[in-house]
Amino acid sequence: MNKFCSAEAAVATIKSGQTVASVGVIGWITPDLVLKSLAARYRSEGAPRDLTFYFPCGTGDGVGIRGMDHVAIEGLMKRIVSGSYINPMNPATGKRPELMRLIRENAIEAYSWPIGASMQWLREVARKSPGYMTEIGLGCYIDPDQTGGRLTSRSTDSLVEKIQFRGKPYLFYPAWNIDVAIIRAGEADDAGNLSFENEALMSSSLALALAAKACGGLVIAQVSQRVERGTRRAQSVKIPGALVDHVVLDPQQMMTTEVQHDAAYFGGQPYDSSKIPGVPFGADKIIARRTAQEVKPGVVSIFGFGAASDTPLVMAEQGAFDNGRIRDYAFTTEHGPFGGLVMSNWQFSANRHPEALLDGLAQFDFIDGGNCKFAALAFAQFDAAGNVNVSKFGSFNPGAGGFIDIAHNARELVFTGTFTTAGLQIEAGKQGLSIAREGKVRKFVNAAEQITYPVREGVVNRGQRARIITERAVFEVTAEGLALTEVAKGVDIRKDILEQMEFPVAVSDRPVLMDEALFVQ
């Protein structure tokens, strides 16, 4: 039986009121053509209507590869549950993603889950269990005592419950059906056997297919290449044709935004520092340089999206990985690559020159098992109670991504970001650092808009060590609060630090000066 068909024929199988799930990690492994075709069908026919969309991770970047923003249409989308949301400014249009507008205007039901939960929940759906139970996320925004993950007032259902089991509290995510899974692979044969030779990640592809089939649903796969049946080794076929109903061929699909194809993301090639993009000099580079001083060879280190992911690139500029020394470092992200170099911006998630790859669920098994000892993550707000926020601030609702699972399970945490934001301008050089214009928005606040992770609780109750690294100061998180441990030369502690914070911090009589090499272009 030949399972290949057009994208239009594939999406014609989707019915009103169904739950549609799809894979994607920013631009990586996003079945963009199928999602675009589903939106086109709705605009043409007015059907299907009132769909629930489930995205374990932010699918598409809303710019070059629109992903879930294709289906962000009132009438088509009734509800969305996602592990993260993407909110970049489109440089061509000057607009934010349409999905963010629907959320801001309360036009749809929208829920934000941690990616760890959104991945592991699929396993429970696939094996027809009652749901997913975890202690990760207690005391965070996903806790029903806070928001329960709701992003709009229309989101009235309780998709996460707080339960007691053997005398301890847990979060419980009840299982519900997935009717259609839209996934992406590299290659398929006529029987629908899927392999990933030309994809840098697997993410939740297999898990989505298993979950949909357990619910009696359909699986639509988008691939870039059609191959003859029986020509591949079984070890390379990660999803058997028994799990796939329709295959859509898109020979033009991008690897990710701005990358049509780059074999360095598959591994098996020597490390080449000449092809590593540089990091422009500025506050973020200063922060990345200081964070690099915390990174140790031989320690499994996980990096989050944002300022933290510049750290390996800065280390590459400094020559830390030359002469084979990249093999001394064990770098990963929440999406499964091991070894090689963590990338930044739209290339974040996959590593260049990886040595191994886990799928999305197995990677969170690895993370939740405490195997990532060191974590460098970004921060948007840090408050007087010792809570960090990256999931909701102002009009932005990016969600937690893998932040909660990573932060909960690492032993050593570094949170990176500028001291203030919205217009911050600095001048730096051998003289140290000076603030040419202060940012309009403070990030050290009395109370965070949302608790993504209670850092001080982790330090006090679970023995974690946590630091905050900014362009002008470094803080240690202690049981008593924040302690200023380092300051940039040229910075006025009172004016540039203490008066820009909404709560007091401990300051030593002689704080250590940050390394002056950090500030030289």
User: Could you give the CA distance from residue 79 to residue 74 in angstroms, rounded to a whole number?
Assistant: 10
Q: Is 453 helix (H, G, I), strand (E, B) or coil?
A: strand
* Paired residues of 421 in beta bridges: 441
Q: What is the DSSP letter of 144?
A: T
Of 436, 438, 427, 440, nearest to 497 by C-alpha is 438
Query: CA-based angle 223:344:268, to the nearest 5?
Result: 55
Of 195, 188, 144, nearest to 170 by C-alpha is 144
Beta-carbon count within 10 A of 508 CB: 11
Catalytic residue of the set 124, 199, 334, 471: 334
Query: CA-based angle 467:387:57, to the nearest 5?
Result: 90
Residue with token string 């796969």: 221
Residues 117 and 149 sit within 8 Å (Cβ to Cβ):
no
Q: Is 38 left (phi over 0), alpha (psi -120 to 50) or beta?
A: alpha
In this structure, what token pair is assigned to residue 330? 């064990």
Q: Is 134 helix (H, G, I), strand (E, B) or coil?
A: strand
Task: Respond yes or no: is residue 135 known to be catalytic.
Answer: no
Detail the DSSP E strand segments found in 292-345: 300-303, 330-332, 337-338, 341-342
Query: Sign (positive/negative) of CA torsion 232, 238, 243, 248?
Result: negative
Exposure on the CB side of residue 440, measured as CA atoms within 13 A = 3
Any idea which residues carry the catalytic annotation? 334
